[in-house]
Structure 1
Amino acid sequence: MRYAMTITCALLAMSGIANASEPAAIQNNPQDTAKPISRTDVTHSNRPNIVYILLDDVGFSDLGSFGSEIHTPNFDRLAAKGLRYNAFHTRAICSPSRAALLTGRNSHSVGMGNLTHVVTGAPGKQGEISTSAATVAEMLRASGYSTFAAGKWHLSPLGKPGSDKAQWPVQRGFDQYFGFIGGMTDQFHPELIIDNTVIAPPQTKGYHFTSDIVDRSIGFIQGAKARHPDQPFFLYFAPGAMHAPHQAPDAFIEKYLPIYTKGWDRIRSERFARQKKIGLIPKDTKLTDRNSDVHAWDTLSADDKKVAVRFQAAYAGFLEHTDAEIGRLLAFLDRANLADNTIIVVMSDNGASPEGEEHGTANLTYSVTNLARKFEPTSELLKHIDDIGTDRSYGNYPRGWATVSNTPFSHYKQSVDEGGLRAPLIVSWPRAIKQTGSVRPQFVDIIDITPTILDVTGTPPPTSYLGVPQKPVEGASIAPTFADAKAPSPRSVQYFELQGQRAIWLDGWKAVSAHTKGAAFEADTWKLYDQRKDFSASTDVAANNPAVLADLERHWMDEAQKYQVLPLEDVTVHNPTFFAATSGKTYRYFEPISLSMDSAPKVTNTSYRITASINRTGAETQGVILATGDRFGGYVLYVKDSLLHFEFNDFGNRTSITSSASIPVGPSKLAYEFHKTGDYTGTGTLSIDGKVVGQGRISMTPALAITFAGTDIGMDIGSPVSEAYAENGTFPFPSDQLGEVSITVE
């Protein structure tokens, strides 16, 4: 699967690109793009602008133009003016899909065979994109493009020193970046980063992250065009939607409550019928059986149904809100006369998520960071049902709704079955795509998107970048499908692997091997599907085609050896090793600062000590000394009413320790010490100037991490860890009265 310049002369003429196959920037230095390219080296005026819109955890059927009842007029407008692809494949989970998309290479080949924090000794699981695989931003910037990223990154490994930002967006080819580095964030109180700096989220009433990144994206484009009107741009727009937490303004949620009382079985059947009616899927497609871990809607209790309806309404409202915000970006491109020659690619990084498990959760971090706990019971969810979808919920829906999102396929995200791999794909380019509104059936992989962009912009991938020899681009251009509905698929074979699960597609046949963690890989059973006749992979035909299955297994091994998939490992997302504390280390801070989750000190399942030197000028001086996490889980040391307080927020269950003595005016030294007495449990002790003034038992600490929020020194940005000062905003401790704060991990 080699990259090649496949675009036809006719398509070049349609797009108005002059000498696109030999851009001046690449001619100047064809073997190594390490040297800066002068903005005057390239004639930009006819090269298309590029926008990637990468949605998160959006299933194959979630957009209106893919069969959904959810109102997505702006995505549907792009589909009507462009093309939909019904056989688009991802890597079934966030980081590998993003790495494959941005590099045009297989995820294992570039070192991202699992999530970025799942780092092992295997060459394909290094947790970061190899420097031997330049990103599309690096390649396009070298050929004269302005490059911007807004939204989720999730391609920088946890556990590295905070100063190591080699894998952050601006170090991987983007001129400017605004968003969050990790895997998910609170949409109302996000962890925000501009370029390489953590900033506090706005305190504006009605703030929402998606609205913010649209504003920032418009600003990026407008600023670039103001400076260099003829220079094309590349925007990587990756909202948190629709990854949990599902959060949206109330008006977007309320409208969907009556709709979802039908339940997931009926909604799924309606989407399936609609997909056939609009020609998205073949007429003979079979709807796969309801996933075995989902109960029939009619068997649920009235309370379970009520909660489930609210969860799905929050999901639908979040998606419609995202669509409305995308509409603002599209309207700007129209006003700026940029839309006609802008290629917009809409996709999702994997299928819908089962991470809300059976009943859904109002606090996803409860499960993700705590292996020892179960989700809230329905009775508890009912007490706070109106919070679901608001800033008081970090919610994810029951997996019954994920089954709906993945219609007509089976299984979910993190599976190499169709429900994990398949996602919607829309390509819009008004100047060049004329068969608008059509559906393309070609097998397309996420590694094919960037080669397509390199193709139509006339940007050959470099053999060397910044002095590092480059891996060949492994995807292939789908540009021929823009004008020819019968153009061949860009590849005949594609492997898949995730956490020991294996699959391969070969000329319409697909073989899948599920894997049980800890079992021998040789014992795994393979299934076989003939997708030439069975679009949804509904019927296992392995028993009747043993020779075909054996051939596919051999091909899988060949591909695995070629793209550094081996050795096989079944390390999953939930591995405490990757969140472990670094013993014997002291972290010192001398000014108020906010740290992202990946660079914050890790104190999980270990003894640790927080100390702070302060110099209060009066009894009224108060505020946060150190806060880690948010209202969904974390810990905070703060001063209020002249008393020292420590609170551990155990996912809503709170343990507080308050000093028995007041903090004196003037200089003093405050401390909190956690002494571990057993796995994830211990004793917390407060002291003022070396004297113990409070003590309490901490019955359970998180098994992996506190939450997905970072650590703040001298304030608490985002949603508050403690409700005790929630009305005080970030509750900052006066910086001129706060000295050194340190955390020592024992």
Structure 2
Amino acid sequence: MKSKPPLALLGLALGIILTLSANIDAEADTLDRTSLPIPEPQPASIATLDARDATAPPRFAVTAPKDAPNVVIVLIDDIGFGASSAFGGPIKMPTLEKLASSGLRYNRFHTTALCSPTRTALLTGHNHHANNAGAIMELATGFPGNTGIRPREISTLAEILRQNGYSTGAFGKYHETPPWEVSVSGPFDRWPTGSGFDKFYGFIGGETNQWAPAIFDGVARAEPVLSPTYHFTVDMTDKAIQWVSAQQTLTPDKPFYMYFATGATHAPHHAPKEWIEKYKGQFNGGWDKLREETFERQKKMGVIPASTKLTARPKEIPGWDGMSEQQKKLFERQMETFAGFAAHTDDQVGRLVAQLEKIGELDNTLFFYIVGDNGSSAEGGPEGTYNEMMALNGIVGKAEQMMDHIDTWGGPTTFPHFAIGWAWATNTPFQWTKQVASHFGGTRNGMVMHWPKGIKAKGEFRSQFHHVIDVAPTALEAAKIPQPKTVNGIAQRPMDGISMLYSADAPNAADQRTTQYFEMFGNRGIYHEGWVACTRHSIPWLMVPLPSVKDDVWELYKVDDDFSQADNLAAENPAKLKELQAVFLKEAERNHVLPIDDRRSERFDPEIAGRPDLLGGRKSLTVYPGMIGMMENAFINVKGRHHTIEAEIEIPEGKANGVIIAQAGYFGGWTLYLKDGKPRHEYNWFAIERTNIGGDEPLAAGKHILGYEFIPDAAKPGTGGKSILSVNGKKVAEAQIPKTQPFAFSADEGADVGIDAETNVSPDYQPGLPSTFTGKIFKVTVEQK
């Protein structure tokens, strides 16, 4: 038996190991982090024959720099500068206020005026056109700056932090994946888990039904939770808390980066009824009065300078006093719902903050609470809409369509959006709204930065001019991680953003961001050395022919002195205007902003927009049982097109029921199904008009071919047409569909075979498992004619 080594030798060996470990810790902060992944050093050769006589070298592992903070980015959707209580608004957001009281409020922080562009800029530190995200992913085109494909010379903050020793997780809305890549075929390198996030739980598109969302866990569809108490913001918060708690339990020395991007308060405005009721009667003065009240609070709180002017209401936005009593009743409920939605969302953020406190991580967490990815949205139109998909299709809602839904507004049977007056009021004191990148109503959002361990100042305002591209560089500076020069062998474009940390403990520090361009659907502007030159080209709720961009009229503001862009100086200072227009063109060319593209709804059609289509020009698509959640850009386009559906099915003894194929859901779409054994087809126009046809006799046991044909009245979006149902080649029903949805059915509900997953197209059946077809489906072929 081998004798034990003397204690002296054990002590020496232990000392060597401890010294090597200390060297590894010391080396961790001297790693070359400019080239990712950080290469593992070549091991030294070992000449010792017997492993018992040798000491293994320490294991190489990339760890984050010593004391690197956790990073949390909370991003609220579609909420303006003047909405939250922390920035003088009427909506109580105590979590935001709490973080502001022990952190910093930035009142000159900017976004891009639209969701996907802001998010890609936030996640990378690069301008949105440089990311090829000139608009939302669903409106990508063939032009550089708008292709929807993030170039490989740009890496996400998540990828940089992950390769520097962080755990990374994303929860909620993503909206950065090209829509033609949202299928089982991928590719998945532009999904969250292919873009640097270890964990993703949320939705891929621009919006979701908060009561019945289409959710992905990683790249797999999560089973829908059909419960009367379910709400997605609660669900995503649960998952975020579970993830960070487990991550810190298992690897307490490993920092984490969490991107927590709620679907709220983007339409549909869905909130638990008890939260809506908290605001009952608080908005009966209307949007003009709310705007005045907010403005006074903002001045009193110091959110805005005392010299700020309240900008006038544009002529395109109606005044409250001109509304009928019926309209006012509806509009009040719209704003009560929006306020309840926002307050409920802040409460869920509060649950996350409380958990970070509980596990002892809040003090060393660099926490960004960004109150809006753009200004509040005017996409609901002058009177709001019961179904927001109508607005996205360019259809203006009318109050008379909505009055029957007031009592259920914000619940599962509505998909609502508020009127433009409320959007304008919650963007106080600025002009305009979401999509209008020319004015601060579209681009200025409140932001709170909180990091007790790293920032001494508390409860103060910061007024340096900053942009969402500045968040990623701030996180890297706090973590003592350089911007990489290469990632995965590809040279990287230098970030457009700059760190904001210089301003944290220096309230009067000079601005380090002196130039920033803005552009969205032709609305454009340039900030340069205290001035803004801008032009509003289009209006969000009007889908009308627009003037040539070369004929746009520009405005000029000295925003260092004019906080709200109230005094247009273009006429009295044409030289300065011309100077800034030249700066805009220089920045536009550098970032691939040109050519300016002012098209909106029509770009939902890939053929019109010029972006890739997963079907690659194919006119026929055959699908099979188990294929569910096929998004519109991964499915054949039948909107307003002459098309047929042929389903080969088998009926068991007795009657069969359920869905054979359906596209979208309760708020618009179509479905082919059996009820009481009888074949039926329903076309659902925005949950307002339904055309349902069916056969009189149940299908007998055995094999059948169930057919459907739509023959359009005209070759134009939104056309009506004949709806014809057949069994085994024999027509059994026919009707006229008055009109069809022109450009989009749904942002997140896809086409399903053998089931109608999240919500039901037809009230003839229940969604999810109850809608499952009880016969056998061999295949279904959908074909354009």
1:30 is the counterpart of 2:34: yes
Rate the CA distance shift 1:678–1:546 in 2: closer, same or farther, 3 A. closer
Rate the CA distance shift 1:640–1:285 in 2: closer, same or farther, 3 A. same
The CA RMSD over aligned residues, in Å, is 2.4
Match of 1:63 in 2: 84
Rate the CA distance shift 1:568–1:49 in 2: closer, same or farther, 3 A. same
SS at match of 1:738: strand
Instruction: Give distance in 1, aligned partners of 2:632 and 2:171.
Output: 18
Select which of 446, 452, 475 maps to 2:468. 446
Match of 2:170 in 1: 149
Indicate if the aligned counterparts of 1:112 and 1:125 stay in contact, CA closer than 8 A: yes
Rate the CA distance shift 1:23–1:191 in 2: closer, same or farther, 3 A. farther
Select which of 638, 648, 673 maps to 1:603. 638
1:495 is the counterpart of 2:517: yes
Match of 1:322 in 2: 345
* Structure 2 letter corresponding to 1:342: T
Instruction: Give distance in 1, aligned partners of 2:229 and 2:358.
Output: 26
CA displacement at 1:424 relative to structure 2: 0.9
Indicate if the aligned counterparts of 2:63 and 2:166 stay in contact, CA closer than 8 A: no
* Structure 1 letter corresponding to 2:522: G
Instruction: Give distance in 2, aligned partners of 1:615 and 1:227.
Output: 52
Select which of 298, 313, 332 maps to 1:290. 313
Rate the CA distance shift 1:728–1:108 in 2: closer, same or farther, 3 A. closer
Instruction: Give distance in 1, aligned partners of 2:73 and 2:267.
Output: 21
Select which of 114, 118, 132 maps to 1:111. 132
* Structure 1 letter corresponding to 2:629: S
Q: Which ranges of structure 1 fall in alignment gaps of 5 or more residues? A: 1-17
Deviates more, 1:118-127 or 1:608-617: 608-617
Q: Which ranges of structure 2 fall in alignment gaps of 5 or more residues? A: 1-21, 42-58, 539-544
State the structure with bigger RCO (CA 8 A, min sep 6), 1 or 2. 1
Deviates more, 1:185-194 or 1:461-470: 461-470
Select which of 691, 694, 698 maps to 1:658. 694
Select which of 484, 487, 512 maps to 2:506. 484
CA displacement at 1:473 relative to structure 2: 0.8
Select which of 319, 344, 364 maps to 1:341. 364
Match of 1:280 in 2: 303
| 1:369-424 Cα shifts (integer Å, max 9, x gaps) | 2x4x431x323322221121111111111111111110000101111211001111
Rate the CA distance shift 1:555–1:721 in 2: closer, same or farther, 3 A. same
Instruction: Give distance in 1, aligned partners of 2:479 and 2:763.
Output: 53
1:135 is the counterpart of 2:156: yes
Instruction: Give distance in 2, aligned partners of 1:154 and 1:728.
Output: 25
Indicate if the aligned counterparts of 1:45 and 1:232 stay in contact, CA closer than 8 A: no
* Structure 2 letter corresponding to 1:532: D
Select which of 730, 733, 749 maps to 1:694. 733
Deviates more, 1:191-200 or 1:646-655: 191-200
Match of 1:7 in 2: none
Instruction: Give distance in 2, aligned partners of 1:31 and 1:44.
Output: 15
Alignment of 1:162-181 (within 5 A): 162=183, 163-164=185-186, 165-181=188-204
* Structure 2 letter corresponding to 1:656: N
CA displacement at 1:351 relative to structure 2: 0.4
Alignment of 1:99-498 (within 5 A): 99-160=120-181, 162=183, 163-164=185-186, 165-347=188-370, 348-369=372-393, 371=394, 373-375=395-397, 377-415=398-436, 416-498=438-520
Instruction: Give distance in 2, aligned partners of 1:639 and 1:133.
Output: 50
Indicate if the aligned counterparts of 2:64 and 2:255 stay in contact, CA closer than 8 A: no
* Structure 2 letter corresponding to 1:395: P
Rate the CA distance shift 1:29–1:283 in 2: closer, same or farther, 3 A. closer
Match of 2:683 in 1: 648
Deviates more, 1:96-105 or 1:615-624: 615-624
Match of 2:12 in 1: none
Instruction: Give distance in 1, aligned partners of 2:627 and 2:618.
Output: 24
Instruction: Give distance in 2, aligned partners of 1:250 and 1:617.
Output: 44
Instruction: Give distance in 2, aligned partners of 1:728 and 1:97.
Output: 34
Instruction: Give distance in 1, aligned partners of 2:72 and 2:768.
Output: 40
Deviates more, 1:287-296 or 1:628-637: 287-296
Instruction: Give distance in 2, aligned partners of 1:432 and 1:336.
Output: 19
TM-score by length of 2: 0.88
CA displacement at 1:548 relative to structure 2: 1.4
Instruction: Give distance in 2, aligned partners of 1:22 and 1:589.
Output: 58
Deviates more, 1:359-368 or 1:155-164: 155-164
Rate the CA distance shift 1:187–1:342 in 2: closer, same or farther, 3 A. same
Alignment of 1:712-731 (within 5 A): 712-726=752-766, 730-731=770-771
| 1:505-554 Cα shifts (integer Å, max 9, x gaps) | 11111111222564333322211111121110101011221221121111
| 1:705-740 Cα shifts (integer Å, max 9, x gaps) | 222221122111222111111388641124x83332
When the two structures are aligned, how many residues end up with a matched partner?
Answer: 725
* Structure 1 letter corresponding to 2:88: G
Deviates more, 1:177-186 or 1:508-517: 508-517
SS at match of 1:725: coil
Asked which structure has the greater CA Rg, the reply is 2
| 1:180-237 Cα shifts (integer Å, max 9, x gaps) | 1111111101111111112332012210010010011112212322332211111111
Indicate if the aligned counterparts of 1:60 and 1:422 stay in contact, CA closer than 8 A: yes
1:739 is the counterpart of 2:778: yes
Indicate if the aligned counterparts of 2:33 and 2:164 stay in contact, CA closer than 8 A: no
Instruction: Give distance in 2, aligned partners of 1:562 and 1:232.
Output: 36
CA displacement at 1:55 relative to structure 2: 0.9
Instruction: Give distance in 1, aligned partners of 2:578 and 2:26.
Output: 44
Match of 2:554 in 1: 526
Instruction: Give distance in 1, aligned partners of 2:679 and 2:390.
Output: 28
Instruction: Give distance in 2, aligned partners of 1:573 and 1:98.
Output: 21
Select which of 583, 595, 598 maps to 1:555. 583
| 1:117-175 Cα shifts (integer Å, max 9, x gaps) | 22233211112322211011111111111111111111122345722333211111111
Indicate if the aligned counterparts of 1:64 and 1:76 stay in contact, CA closer than 8 A: yes
Rate the CA distance shift 1:728–1:414 in 2: closer, same or farther, 3 A. closer
Rate the CA distance shift 1:414–1:324 in 2: closer, same or farther, 3 A. same
Match of 1:622 in 2: 657
Instruction: Give distance in 1, aligned partners of 2:735 and 2:222.
Output: 34
Instruction: Give distance in 1, aligned partners of 2:492 and 2:32.
Output: 18
1:676 is the counterpart of 2:699: no
SS at match of 2:401: helix
Indicate if the aligned counterparts of 2:760 and 2:767 stay in contact, CA closer than 8 A: no
Match of 2:56 in 1: none
Instruction: Give distance in 1, aligned partners of 2:434 and 2:60.
Output: 42
CA displacement at 1:432 relative to structure 2: 1.6
Percent identity between the two aligned chains = 36
Rate the CA distance shift 1:227–1:596 in 2: closer, same or farther, 3 A. farther
Rate the CA distance shift 1:406–1:138 in 2: closer, same or farther, 3 A. same
Instruction: Give distance in 1, aligned partners of 2:579 and 2:202.
Output: 45
Rate the CA distance shift 1:53–1:710 in 2: closer, same or farther, 3 A. same
Instruction: Give distance in 2, aligned partners of 1:41 and 1:623.
Output: 54
CA displacement at 1:470 relative to structure 2: 1.3
Indicate if the aligned counterparts of 1:25 and 1:142 stay in contact, CA closer than 8 A: no
Instruction: Give distance in 1, aligned partners of 2:181 and 2:161.
Output: 28
Instruction: Give distance in 2, aligned partners of 1:43 and 1:29.
Output: 10
Deviates more, 1:257-266 or 1:687-696: 687-696
Match of 1:15 in 2: none
1:49 is the counterpart of 2:49: no
Rate the CA distance shift 1:574–1:94 in 2: closer, same or farther, 3 A. farther
